[in-house]
Structure 1
Amino acid sequence: MFSQYRDSDYAYIGLLGRSFGRVSNSDLLTEAEAPRDASDFLASAFRDKIAVPDPTSEDAILFAFYLVTQKYGLRYMEQFMEQNPLIVANGGVAIASTVSGRRTASLSSLAPFLPVPGQPLRYVVPRTDQFMSWPQTAAIFRKASHPAAAKLYIAWQLTVERQSTGFQWPTRRDVTPPGGRQRITEYNTSLNGFREFLRDREEVERFRALIKTFVAP
């Protein structure tokens, strides 16, 4: 288990590794054409072709944009909005818009590493940008009605067999990620970055208000 995926006192533990990468329609864009860094989305080819969840409505998407602006500055938001992106309610709608071909790429979305039959999706991590990743954590309440069943469930989620069939990254060090990916620690991502961002609620709301000046909900 990656140490960042568990509490130091084991109050909680990470069952699954997740990340927001760059997602594109594999039927409409070749691998070479698919955008990877945030700067790629500013190319003229992607005007009217981008779908993205509303970053002002969800902390996770907000943090993904926070990482982008940390690197490129707020000028990036001006340039990005000039691309006329489709701002949708959530990640599911962004993915649906990409699958349907209404849009061809999404800046910060969740998608599986391995292709899903009938869904022309390609997930990639950025070349140089830092991107968002986090563990889906679980804990057993002290007064849980069925603690033995809860322990059994968590133990099953952490087995090699279960971790080997995951959507994205495993949380165990001894399990190889699907799709030929390297271990999560080999990429430009902070495993606890999102958690640290959320701890400063004043900064979160300040940045949300700032992004609202660019993105009309």
Structure 2
Amino acid sequence: MPTSKHNLSRRYFGIGVLAAPILLPTVGRALAQAQGTLGSTKQAPGIERRSLEELHKVAVAEGGDLIVYAGGDIPNAQAAVEEAFKRRFPGMNIRILVDLSKYHDARIDNQLARGKLECDVAHLQTLHDFDRWKTKGRLRLYKPLGWDQVYGDFRDPDGAYVTVNIFCFSNIISTKLVSDAEAPRDAIDYLDPKWKGRTVLTYPHDDDAVLYQFDRIIAEHGWGYMDRLMAQDVQWIRGTVPARLVVAKGDKAATFTASGVLTAPPDAPFKLILPKSDSFLTWPQTGAIFKDARHPAAAELYLSWLLSKERQEGMGLWPVRHDCTPPEGFGPVIHYNTYPVGFRAFMQDRARIERLKFQFEHYIGAPQGPNPTQVTGLYPVGR
């Protein structure tokens, strides 16, 4: 990447005011509103100093149980994380329930109103919720192990919440159908007739991260882009992982509304490819412990483990810590044409997001299909 782009990315990442053209009128106000709730308070705890082994002993003595609500869009998407946690910490019984973040946050709000919270921890895409929950005194202030190594923009100064994963949404191609050389990279590439009938995309009005991607595309190319895209016989689908799976199976050639590991194995059926010129979406999945958590010791162990170097360097994603090594072939996330803080600001303006959703519905129609996670009910795990 050119040095000038490195410098720009560092500047944008640090202050989050120039994330993308469409955000210029609202980003400063949204961040100011959010940061108004984030000023350091006298209640802020110190950083966790106990080791993972010490935290493990306390969690087992507490009973060893933990319930996590995690954002995602396929059933049991965190099963491997559950197993890794139980292997690392014998005697722990963890359930990570995956559902769309917009369903989880409503579920949590309803549970809190009833005085009967099921989850101890949540890590979600709905970043605006964490500021709101903090303001209402719903979050437990805790600074996990490794807190001081996390990028400053990815953590609340009081310890109310912290980023646990950085997800990247960009081009995913079928390695069976598309070579690197011919892969579509920028948004405009998907309008080429050769991609007609070969693209799968997630409904932007069903997922705020995808909505943010489309918002930036429209800022660059205007609403005429949607007219041309709709002529491309796109398969629209609920869920970003489902879109990636369609590509991985070879049913479609490409998508730009899915995430994947930065470096897939050579024999993988799909591959993530970054744009040539466009900015792309990275967003910080944020986690917090609730003040009403029934298993606070287990929750502290879990967040400290998620932030540990052993975990951050083993996921194939950009780490949230600046002292961790990114996957092979990649530099730190701040060196790229992407603005995680911009997405956080975008999520604050809920009125604008609702207007955008209806605008895209006029083009595409209402999202079709059931909830891809198949999760139902106010208390899915069963308290």
- Do the two structures share a fold, i.e. TM-score over 0.5? yes
Structure 2 distance, partners of 1:105, 1:68, is 17
Is 2:154–2:284's contact at 8 Å kept on the other side of the alignment? Answer: yes
The answer as to 2:162 corresponding to 1:13 is yes
Rg larger in 1 or in 2? 2
Q: Shift in Å at residue 37 of structure 1?
A: 0.7
Are the aligned partners of 1:14 and 1:138 in contact in 2 as well (CA < 8 Å)? Answer: yes
Deviation string 1:68-95 (CA, Å, 9 cap, x unpaired) is 1111111111111111111112112211
Report the AA paired with residue 315 of structure 2.
Answer: G
Corresponding letter in the other structure for 1:168? L
RMSD across aligned C-alpha pairs, in angstroms? 1.6
Matched AA of 2:153: Q
Aligned residue pairs total 217
Equivalent pair of 1:5/1:14 in contact (CA under 8 Å): yes
> TM-score, structure 1 length as denominator?
0.93
1:177 to 312, 326, 350: 326
1:65 to 192, 214, 235: 214
Q: Given the two structures, how large is their TM-score scaled by the length of structure 2?
A: 0.54
| Structure 1 residue 136 displacement after superposition | 1.5
**Aligned residue in 2 for 1:113:** 262
Structure 1: which 5+ residue stretches go unaligned? none
* Counterpart-to-counterpart distance in 2, 1:36 and 1:116: 20
**Is 1:46 the equivalent of 2:195?**
yes
Determine what percentage of the aligned residue pairs are the same residue.
34
CA deviations 1:184-212 (Å, max 9, x no partner) are 11111111222211211111011111111
Higher relative contact order (CA 8 A, sep 6+): 1
The aligned residue for residue 3 of structure 1 is 152
Q: Which amino acid aligns with 2:363?
A: F
Q: What amino acid does structure 1 have at the position aligned with 2:323? A: D
Runs of 5+ in structure 2 lacking a partner? 1-149, 367-383
Task: Report the CA distance between 1:144 and its aligned residue.
Answer: 2.5
1:32 aligns with 2:176: no
Range with bigger deviation, 135-144 or 65-74: 135-144
Residue 44 of structure 1 aligns with an amino acid whose one-letter code is P
Say if 2:302 is the partner of 1:153.
Answer: yes
* Larger fraction in helix: 2
1:134 is paired with a residue whose SS is strand
Distance across 2 between alignment mates of 1:18 and 1:35: 20
- Tell me the alpha carbon deviations over residues 149-173 of structure 1, each in whole angstroms, 9 at most, x when there is no partner: 2222111111111111114211011
> What pairs up with 1:177-196 in 2 under 5 angstroms?
177-196=326-345
Distance in 1 (alpha carbons) for counterparts of 2:317 and 2:232:
29
AA aligned to 1:15 is: V
Structure 1 residue identity aligned to 2:317: Q
